[in-house]
Amino acid sequence: MAERPMAESFADLIAAEDVLLFVNAAVTATGQREFRSRAEEQRLSLAFLHEYVRVNYRPVYAAALALDINDHNAALVVVQLLINAGDASAAERRTEGALIGARLALMPPQRVYRVFRALRAARVNNRRTRAIMRDWLAARPDVGHDAVKYRSGLKNALRHAHLPPRSVELGDFLFRPGARVRYEHGFLDAHRRAHFEQSAVYELPYTVAEGFAARHGIPRALFLERIAPRMTRLERLRTQRTGPTADLAVMPLTRLALYVLSLPAGERVARRAELTGALRASAARAAGARAGTWGQVAAVLDDSYSASGSSEKRRRPLAVALGCHYLLEALAAPGAYRAHWTSGARDPLLVRPWGPTPLGSRILDALEDAPQRLVIVSDGWDNAPPGLAGEVLRVWRTRLDPERRTSAVHVNPVYDADGFDVRRLAPSVPTAGIRDAEDLPALVEIAQFAEGRTGLAELLAHLRERTDRFLGTGRERTDRFLGAGRDRLAGARGGAP
């Protein structure tokens, strides 16, 4: 009996590592091709990880919806929870329903409609699922807009949840096309008229209008000029490749970095003041109240060839590194930030993916100044020479800085399908997955749990706090939910390693 607490502590440590592994994957992986792995490998790896965590740690799996996981994985969590509803108690299902509803409200509508389609394909049509679909559709600000832009998705949702259309004319538009000669709703009537009237094309959402413009043979330049008032900020960025735009100042940091990297080097130089100002303004918004509070910061940023990403995620790793550069500049004390790009680049605006990954050498450069914080942004493939980064970090942490005067963290934007995690550099330095640069402060917070100095209890406390904030519910309800999760973990592990 004297050994049981130690066994339970070891089991808790393993459980905490499993949960962190899943969180890292859910933040970074999207089931798409990466530089070193195919899309099929990504999807198979993610499917196994989701099933493993759902079966063994279901309440924690559901609570992940309150974290900064990406929309692809949030959708998978929602679908898996609803497909396997019988594995949860009635009280757990109520909390799961609240988490699902809150997360769906934050997701882009096209993703939510894909979730509904997946539920229909899986023949999940219980009362809770129909209630979730009903409540989400009832909260949509303009179902007429959805009927035009997401027509098949809305039809599928209404049929699957056995819901009546919000109005008779909406039902006619969806299920009896051609039954009316005109509609009272502007979008519905514009869609009807756009089949034979060019002027009506410009009253529709951009993605719908684009198809009608091609059908009518409208010149692309003329179409883009006239449809501009109907376009979203991101749609304008995707179609406007030259010239200044006021939209840059309010773009999310990673999307803005992707846009900057898509521009030719000459255009970046010509628009240096505009682009740099926009990146710094976006980074300042992301930093918020934390701006200037991180003290002296050194960053090692990976712009090696592997940062080019893949055909599905072009330049995404490099964009995350560029966004982190400007965010860390905002988080550091004024004048107390230094960046070390693996290529040796000095101008962040002109970085491009090329060359090997000499992470070890750059980490040595960064540690020379004895910063308060060291942040490494890399896919973890240290190859010039291989393994030097891990050895540098091991010696530095065990012999040169055992008191941890410098706080170090590695954030990795690339999921390693073979390892079911993001690739790590050294056991002594925590690693967290990252998808968007603006999530860096929150991910640095959760990375502390990967150091092995904190266990399951601390991790569950963090999840509890995030879930409370996400749902705006009382602490008692979350305690019960994650308390049940702790009990399940003990049962799954049997209190033994």
Q: What are the structural domain ranges in the chain?
A: 4-246, 247-453
Q: What is the DSSP letter of 333?
A: P
Token digits of residue 237: 């960025």
CB of 466 closer than 8 Å to CB of 66 = yes
- pLDDT-derived band of residue 97, with 50, 70 and 90 as boundaries? very high
Between 473 and 312, the higher pLDDT residue: 312
Domain 247-453 has CATH 3.40.50: yes
Beta strands in 241-351 (DSSP E): 297-301, 337-341
At residue 314, φ and ψ (nearest 5 deg) are: -65, 125
- pLDDT-derived band of residue 367, with 50, 70 and 90 as boundaries? very high
Q: What is the DSSP letter of 398?
A: I
Asked if the model's pLDDT at residue 318 lies above 70, the reply is yes
Which of these ranges, 311-315, 316-320, 459-463, has the smallest mean pLDDT? 459-463
The predicted pLDDT at position 1 comes to: 36
The predicted pLDDT at position 78 comes to: 97
Closest CA to 374 of 352, 358, 356, 393: 393
Given the structure tokens 């592997």, which residue do they identify? 306
Mean of per-residue pLDDT scores for the chain: 88
Asked if the model's pLDDT at residue 8 lies above 60, the reply is no
Asked if the model's pLDDT at residue 481 lies above 80, the reply is no
The predicted pLDDT at position 186 comes to: 94
The predicted pLDDT at position 13 comes to: 64
d(CA 343, CA 363): 13
d(CA 147, CA 152): 8
Instruction: Please report, rounded to a whole number, the percentage of residues in the chain having pLDDT higher than 70.
Output: 89
Closest CA to 200 of 131, 154, 148, 261: 148
The predicted pLDDT at position 131 comes to: 95
CB of 84 closer than 8 Å to CB of 124 = no
Asked if the model's pLDDT at residue 130 lies above 70, the reply is yes
The predicted pLDDT at position 7 comes to: 43
CB of 174 closer than 8 Å to CB of 165 = yes
Each residue's pLDDT tens digit, 158-167: 999 999 999 9
Question: What are the distances in angstroms from CA 382 to CA 29, 346, 366, 385, 492?
Answer: 20, 21, 16, 7, 37
Each residue's pLDDT tens digit, 432-451: 999 999 999 988 877 777 66
pTM, two decimals, is 0.85
Alpha helices in 161-271 (DSSP H): 168-175, 186-193, 198-201, 206-216, 220-227, 233-239, 253-262, 265-270
CB of 183 closer than 8 Å to CB of 189 = yes
Average pLDDT of 87-97? 90
Asked if the model's pLDDT at residue 12 lies above 70, the reply is no
Closest CA to 224 of 212, 236, 233: 236
- pLDDT-derived band of residue 454, with 50, 70 and 90 as boundaries? low
Given the structure tokens 């033994």, which residue do they identify? 496
Compute the 3-state secondary structure of the chain and give helix, strand, coil in percent, each to the nearest 5: 65, 5, 30
CB of 337 closer than 8 Å to CB of 348 = no
Alpha helices in 39-182 (DSSP H): 39-56, 58-63, 71-83, 90-106, 109-121, 127-138, 143-149, 151-160, 168-175
- pLDDT-derived band of residue 392, with 50, 70 and 90 as boundaries? very high
